[in-house]
Amino acid sequence: ITNRELKFISKKMSYALRHNPKKYGISLNEYGYTDLDDFIAAMNRVHHFSPALTKETIDEVIARSNKKRFAIRGNKICALYGHSIPGIIKHQAAVPPAILFHGTARRFMPSIDKLGLLPMQRQFVHLSTDVATARAVGMRHDSHPVILQVDTVAARKAGIEFYIGNDQVWLCDELPSRFFKEI
């Protein structure tokens, strides 16, 4: 299976598990998990994959991806972050590293300075554990992204909760601008 095919499947998986499970006739539990066999059947029904998508292919998508987007637990699968469906998917609250980063577009900064970091189309603000990852995230929006450094200690003292996405991605609710600075 080629990298191009893996990327195509991964994008459809993200779409189904983050944004539009309804289109696939699947439902997510409160933690974002759905039955893996139902998910595979739905993916094949909607996209007519040939050869048919299998559990082995999904394992390969996950193993060969540069980002840890999905998790399989027993016979269930979920997207680990990125959700936009209405209602909030529960993620495990935890104490993050003292500093996290957010890469974004220069053109968004006037609004970000004024309103803080907002989840926008997604359920949570997404933060990165290292500058390189934040830069890559920001490059999706701007070839010369701005890197913001977030003081999570101060934010937590003010009552803002942080949640685990994966090893490199943390989530939080909206973050006022006094908790971050441009680096």
Which residues here bind ligand HQG, judged by CB under 6 A? 67, 69, 81-82, 104-105, 108, 111-112, 115, 117-118, 120-122, 126, 137, 140-141, 169
| CB 118, min distance to ligand HQG, A | 4
User: Shortest Cβ distance from residue 153 to ligand HQG (Å)?
Assistant: 21
Residue showing tokens 């450094």: 149
Sign of CA dihedral 71, 165, 109, 148: negative
Largest CA distance in the chain: 52
d(CA 125, CA 119): 4
How many other CB atoms are found less than 10 A from the CB of residue 120?
10
- Cβ proximity to ligand HQG: between 55 and 135 the closer is 135
- Please identify, using beta-carbon distances, which residue of 11 and 23 lies nearer to ligand HQG: 11
Q: How far is the CB of 114 from ligand HQG (least distance, A)?
A: 7
Nearer to ligand HQG, 26 or 125 (CB): 125
DSSP 3-state helix, strand, coil percentages of the chain (rounded to 5)?
A: 40, 20, 40
CB of 51 to ligand HQG, least distance (A): 25
55: Cβ–Cβ under 8 A, 6 or more apart, which residues?
A: 36, 40
How far is the C-alpha of 9 from the C-alpha of 7, rounded, in Å?
5
From the centroid of its chain, how far is CA 171?
Answer: 8
The least distance separating ligand HQG from the CB of residue 108, rounded to whole angstroms, comes to 4
- Nearer residue to ligand HQG within complex by CB, 7 or 22: 7
Beta carbon nearer to ligand HQG, 109 or 153? 109
Q: Evaluate the omega torsion of the peptide bond into residue 51 and state whether it is cis, within 30 degrees of 0.
A: yes
Give the residue with the Cβ less far from ligand HQG, 6 or 41. 6
Q: How far is the CB of 117 from ligand HQG (least distance, A)?
A: 5
Using DSSP, state whether 104 is helix, strand or coil.
strand
